[in-house]
Amino acid sequence: MDYLLDLLQGLGIAAAIGIRPFLPTLLVGALAAGDLGIDFDGTDFSFLEKTPFLLVIVILVAVFNIIDRRRGADTSVPGPVTALLLACSLVLGALLASASIADGSDTWWPGIPIGVAAASLGFLSARSLFGRVSARLDAETAKALPLYAEGMALLGAGLSVLLPPLAILFVAALAWLLIGGRRREGEKYAGLRILR
């Protein structure tokens, strides 16, 4: 049962990291350093709660905040920044999902595929949702979307650490957003074909 809870915790953390990678990583590292719901001490992943790693994450938060401001905060379009965010999400998702499992078990390797899959789901869901929303907003209002994404990611990571069973609901909501967005996109194009 403990293994399942650790697995669910890792699943939710990785999904949150897929939405926005750095603040959820910082939150989980801080919670692990304080032994609040998660602890990486005594595992191969203890570096995730150490000051040097957390300092690197703080620097990445600042760098990507500057990039967001210059780009107009739209990461829903393909490009090098979006690819870099995806790579960071996948790596951090796999690391933290594995670390969550390693907290209670020596068999941590399932965290790698689970973390990558959950981070991918979070990334695709967030890009789909915020891409649709930003298309309806003026440029000034759209600049606030990263704040909503960060809030959603922090909430998902925090709830997954403190109440691991809620990770199922969080991941299900992300899957629903992704499927719903794709369905709406398909309906829009079907409507355009009918007009021809």
Alpha-carbon distances, residue 8 vs 36, 66, 84, 146 (angstroms):
16, 33, 26, 26
Is 73's pLDDT higher than 70?
Answer: no
Q: What share of the chain is helix, strand, coil (3-state, %, to 5)?
A: 80, 0, 20
Parse the chain into domains and list their residue ranges.
2-195
**Cβ burial 7-40 (10 Å sphere, 16+ → b, else e):** bbbbbbbbbbbbbbbbbbbbbbbebbbeeebbbb
Is 147's pLDDT higher than 90?
Answer: no
Predicted structure pTM score: 0.89
Task: Report the alpha-carbon distance of residue 146 to residue 142 in Å, rounded.
Answer: 8
Cα angle: 171, vertex 177, 182; to 5 degrees: 130
Dump pLDDT digits (tens) for 12-65.
Answer: 999 999 999 999 999 999 999 999 999 999 999 999 999 999 999 999 999 988
Is 135's pLDDT higher than 90?
Answer: no
Reported as a pLDDT band with limits 50, 70 and 90, residue 167 is very high
Dump pLDDT digits (tens) for 101-111.
Answer: 999 999 999 99
Q: What is the mean pLDDT of the chain?
A: 88
What pLDDT was estimated at residue 194? 52
Reported as a pLDDT band with limits 50, 70 and 90, residue 133 is confident
Mean pLDDT of 135-161: 86
Percent of the chain past pLDDT 90, that is, above it, reads: 68
What pLDDT was estimated at residue 15? 97
Determine which of 36-40, 121-125, 131-135, 184-188 has the lowest per-residue pLDDT on average. 184-188
Task: Report the alpha-carbon distance of residue 124 to residue 135 in Å, rounded.
Answer: 16
What pLDDT was estimated at residue 185? 63
What pLDDT was estimated at residue 115? 97
